Structure 1
Amino acid sequence: MNLLSEQGIETRRPLIAASISDRELGLIDKTVLDSIDLIELRVDHFSKLSSEYISEVINKTKGFDKHLICTIRSTDEGGATHINDSERLRIFKEVAGLVDMIDIEAASEIFIDVLNIAKEKDKILIASIHNFDSTPSYRELEDTVLFNKSRGAHIVKIATMPQRREDIFSMTRLTVTYYRENIVTICMGQMGVITRVFFPFIGSLFTFASVGETKAPGQMDVRRLRELMNLFSGS
């Protein structure tokens, strides 16, 4: 049983996390809900950052009955708005009890602080690594997974930008080799679009898709992604 199964998430189909902002809550209809399994709230895309407002958005989102990921992405790794680390830490502390998972960049100076918050609240911690320029060597990718698991991350998410097909081969090998370690793998950009479809079939815990505005290069609409997954799975 994988980590998400232990959390009561049905894993009979490849899983999709809808990456949304506060302004996209109104776009979540039955067709979206039928397509997704988790919701990632991208707080760095929110129009307001007060404690009351963020809690209000989270509580509204809980009404969709999907497991929630709280992400406050740094601008260094693709965040929409610069939010300093002390502010991000404040938000994580305040909302940790309301969500199921917390995502923090593995390279962040507040990684250990956020890890401790997740432990205190008994939440799943996702250690994220984004490379928007290239794909590291297989050895580097492997070391990244093992190092972050040793630090206490429940899930290691690695998103890279492939420059050649061999980069996709490396990420595919990583996914197949370390699927028991609870990893999320993504190749971004146009070349990597296909990996958003097939990596969840071969070992990535889930993948990300958009509802409205895309949050990362190559991200697909949730309904289109589910349609393709259903096509390949014969559903």
Structure 2
Amino acid sequence: MKTKTVLLRGVEIGAGRPKIIVPIVGKTEQEILDKAAQLVQAKPDVVEWRVDYFQGVGDVQRVVDTARQLNEALGEIPILFTFRTKREGGEKEIGMEDYTALNRAVAQSSYVDAVDVEIFSGDEVVRKNIAAIHDAGAAVVGSSHEFHRTPEHAELIYRLRKMQDMGADILKVAVMPQNKADVLTLLSATEEMYRLYAQRPLLTMSMASDGVISRLCGEVFGSAATFGMVGQGSAPGQIPADQLEQVLEILHRAL
């Protein structure tokens, strides 16, 4: 099955080596812009702005203004905008009406290239989010996170296929392993999804120390991107982006 790639500015997700996404988790505008200056030097493929860490997230105009400054600071590095809800491991609670309005406003600003949408937020909410983001010309990362367990193989396939069916452009699953066998479950489900069903790029990972290997070897199993860190990370098991790039390049050349 031919998997479509997704272009975020000049970065093609799903082609070449897996792309490295680095998060910004600053609480203030200054912290966010200071981190952006650091990331311009580090040159990740994509920057994820985890806006749930931002103390001004309740003010949509302030978020949009900060997105503009971040866009200017990062230059050509594409931005993934993410409000991670408390339910899926994020920093803050948010009502689904506010979640939709925030995602729509930022997508319409054109200061970000992609917006994360938690696929299991209710089908009606998800459809509204995806439609608004697409209408604004941004891509959608459909996501599902489990910070306490790894679902069974069939459940992981179901989640990824649902993201695709709902119209997400990139399909993301992150899970917490209880043991090394759980990491194999995640990788096996990624491989089956990629081989049999995927029409979109996959972004899958097993978190914490047991799951580090999944952040390194994703290309072998069909994952098109991974998360690294420069300074503070946003999830357990992220490793420094410069080390990550070395390993990804070695594997990519070998394959």
> With structure 1 as the length reference, what TM-score do the two structures score?
0.88
Runs (4 or more) in structure 1 with deviation over 6 Å come to none
Does residue 62 in structure 1 map to residue 71 in structure 2? yes
Q: Which segment is superposed worse, 156-165 or 45-54?
A: 45-54
Q: Give % identity.
A: 26
Aligned residues: CA RMSD: 2.4
Match of 2:228 among 209, 217, 220: 209
Relative to 1, partners in 2 of residues 1:183 and 1:14: Cα closer, same or farther, differing over 3 Å? Answer: closer
Structure 2: which 5+ residue stretches go unaligned? none
Query: After the TM superposition, which residues 1-235 of structure 1 pair with which residues of structure 2 at under 5 Å, given as runs?
Result: 2-5=4-7, 8-10=10-12, 11-22=15-26, 23-29=31-37, 33-49=41-57, 50-63=59-72, 64=74, 65-97=76-108, 98=110, 99-109=112-122, 110-179=125-194, 180-181=198-199, 182-233=201-252
Relative to 1, partners in 2 of residues 1:57 and 1:192: Cα closer, same or farther, differing over 3 Å? Answer: same
Q: Which segment is superposed worse, 185-194 or 207-216?
A: 207-216
Structure 2 SS opposite 1:114: helix
Separation in 1 of the partners of 2:164 and 2:252?
30
Relative to 1, partners in 2 of residues 1:24 and 1:231: Cα closer, same or farther, differing over 3 Å? Answer: farther
Separation in 2 of the partners of 1:169 and 1:103?
26
Which AA in structure 1 matches 2:245? Answer: R
Separation in 2 of the partners of 1:196 and 1:125?
21
Which AA in structure 2 matches 1:9? Answer: V
Structure 1: which 5+ residue stretches go unaligned? none
Separation in 1 of the partners of 2:242 and 2:63?
26
Which AA in structure 1 matches 2:231? Answer: G
The offset of 1:35, in angstroms, is 4.3
Number of matched pairs: 235
Q: Which segment is superposed worse, 165-174 or 64-73?
A: 165-174
Is contact 2:18–2:225 with CA below 8 Å preserved after alignment? yes
Which AA in structure 2 matches 1:4? Answer: V
Is contact 1:115–1:125 with CA below 8 Å preserved after alignment? yes
Is contact 1:44–1:72 with CA below 8 Å preserved after alignment? yes
Q: Which segment is superposed worse, 65-74 or 17-26?
A: 17-26
Is contact 1:92–1:114 with CA below 8 Å preserved after alignment? yes
Separation in 2 of the partners of 1:147 and 1:84?
22
Structure 2 SS opposite 1:178: helix
Separation in 1 of the partners of 2:8 and 2:209?
34
The offset of 1:157, in angstroms, is 0.6
